[in-house]
Amino acid sequence: MPTDIKVSIITVAYNSASTIADTIASVLAQSYANIEYIIVDGQSTDGTVDILRQFEPKFGGRMRWLSEKDGGIYDAMNKGITMATGDVVGILNSDDYFTSNTVIEQMVKVFDDESIDATYGDIHFIREGQPDKCIRYYSSKRFSPRWLRFGFMPAHPSFYARREVFERAGLYKTDYKIGSDYEMMVRLFCVHKIKAKYQPLDFVTMRTGGLSTRNVHSRLQLIQDDVRACRENGIYTNALMISLKFAYKIFELKL
């Protein structure tokens, strides 16, 4: 097992007391030891910080966290990336958790190939209170950079890249309301031409109700952000082309 590769996992939190213990526990349970865990909290008022304090000693110095005001989720992600000292960096949301205890151990093996810049895989969604029932499976298997113009991207919670990729390409843009993660994928794959490898691995279990899927307004905002992201990076698209991804999601549902 390539334990010499250090992995920085970043969790952004704000008033996440109801879910973040599951998130942190799933990091603590990983079979891969060379993990640096960074939590960036936006001055939560619901007990989140108390949970961070409770878990910190269990990591034996491998966990770092801060709690301060930020400019939103992407600003907080950028803080985490800036703090990271690992060779490889990934994001784990504060209401998600790793699907198994061997996710990082399996994921990191691809970086033995020094030509690989990044990797990505699959995720699945559950409803609160039904952790064993998958209601949607998001596979990145068919992803190709040419599909970005249609709004398709690798599952962001499964995306891990060498830290030097962010140093070269820049951080998440903080003036996007929802779609900065998509803009990052467009920038990395289409502008910087990173070499990434898909892994047939279920990385993360996600609870439904994320920022980009809450309501019709959020979906419209996401379309607007996605179109902007493509155009700013020299990729032709339009709102109709981007909207196709919502129709495709029907086939991911587990009815």
Are 247 and 240 in contact by the 8 Å Cβ rule? The answer is: no
Are 161 and 117 in contact by the 8 Å Cβ rule? The answer is: yes
Residue 62: what pLDDT? 97
- Segment among 59-63, 145-149, 249-253 with least mean pLDDT: 249-253
pLDDT in tens, 92-104: 999 999 999 999 9
Task: Tell me if residue 185 falls in helix, strand or coil.
Answer: helix
**Burial tier of 217 (Cβ tally within 10 Å: 0-12, 13-18, 19+):** exposed
Residue 246: what pLDDT? 67
- 10 forms beta bridges with 38, 91
Rounded to a whole number of angstroms, the distance between the first and last alpha carbons of the chain is 38
Distance CA 15, CA 44 (A): 5
Angle at 21 between CA 15 and CA 25, to 5 degrees: 145
Phi, psi dihedrals of residue 120, rounded to the nearest 5°: -155, 165
pLDDT in tens, 114-141: 999 999 999 999 988 888 899 999 999 9
As a CATH number, domain 7-252 is 3.90.550.10
Residue 80: what pLDDT? 98
- Can you give 23-48 as a three-state secondary structure string? HHHHHHCCCCCCEEEEEEECCCCCCH
pLDDT in tens, 200-241: 999 999 998 655 445 578 888 999 999 999 999 999 999 998
Detail the DSSP E strand segments found in 99-138.
118-126, 136-138
158 confidence band (pLDDT: 50, 70, 90): very high
pLDDT in tens, 3-21: 699 999 999 999 999 999 9
Phi, psi dihedrals of residue 129, rounded to the nearest 5°: 90, -5
pLDDT in tens, 23-65: 999 999 999 999 999 999 999 999 999 999 999 999 999 999 9
